[in-house]
Amino acid sequence: MGLGVYVENQVHERRYAGADAGSALQRLVAASNRERHHLVSRIDSYGDTMINLIQLPQLTAELDEIASRKPELRADVQALGALIEEATRARGYLWISGD
């Protein structure tokens, strides 16, 4: 099944971001480096991961760094960037549900 990506607002109302978002995130996790990408590389493929408002800018920076090394993943980073912006505007979270 893969990763399910959801955008939550501050009262935890959740919106599913779609299968494409999960596929994009899986590709980015696979391209991450545990030493360099502390948040991305630790997204759990089998459990749940919540990225909070304070962590969202770090996630953005890590995704941008991955795209700078792997330009073929830039579209994936842009798609997730839109979700990160939505979560930030909602003062919420990015919720990732593994298999």
pLDDT at 1: 59
* Cβ–Cβ < 8 Å for 98, 48: yes
**Spans of the chain below 50 pLDDT:** none
DSSP secondary-structure letter at 43? Answer: -
Q: How many CB atoms lie within 10 A of CB 38?
A: 14
**Domains and their CATH numbers in the chain:** 4-97 (3.40.1760)
Query: Exposed (0-12), middle (13-18) or buried (19+): which is 81, by Cβ within 10 Å?
Result: middle
